[in-house]
Chains A and B, each alone.
Chain A
């Protein structure tokens, strides 16, 4: 059974049209992460939540926002998608924030921007 669920699997949006990607988890983990992964590149951490504590990476564009209304759900909002934002977006969870903790990833949302 999937433990980290991302919807939709594929999302097509238009240049400049806001889009929201969703992630839910059944693991009751404290930490939720959003990564951006482009072809042949490492997953790039955008931000993470430790419970309700939001942690933004320094180089994450302002165009990217996130919401975590409760433990189970986390959303990624892209306010004005550009062509360069086309990528796979991965949600992950972990029990703790420490590096030794295992990351559980969802299947990702492949975003296309036309």
Chain B
């Protein structure tokens, strides 16, 4: 079962709010990813966790804070966002990441975020 779940599906928040996006997979994958996708654009990589450790941070502003509590869960904490942060946030997972592995990334349905 190649399923990645994300909650919430939709989120509206003000610029002073603190919220969190959640991602979960039960495929035994050891790598998890956050992507940001603006309308009519391809996904852009934000963070990569490999074996529960942050391995890649694509120069993302500190108002986005990722967390990997365990190998099945990935959170993205949001604080003091700007309207331009409004986008579809996609989570993905793969069996591994890096080290020559050729891993397929499986994506969740995404969270549509609107920052007012």
Q: Are A and B genuine complex partners?
A: no
Chain A interfacial positions (CB closer than 8 Å to B):
none
| B interface residue numbers (CB < 8 A to A) | none
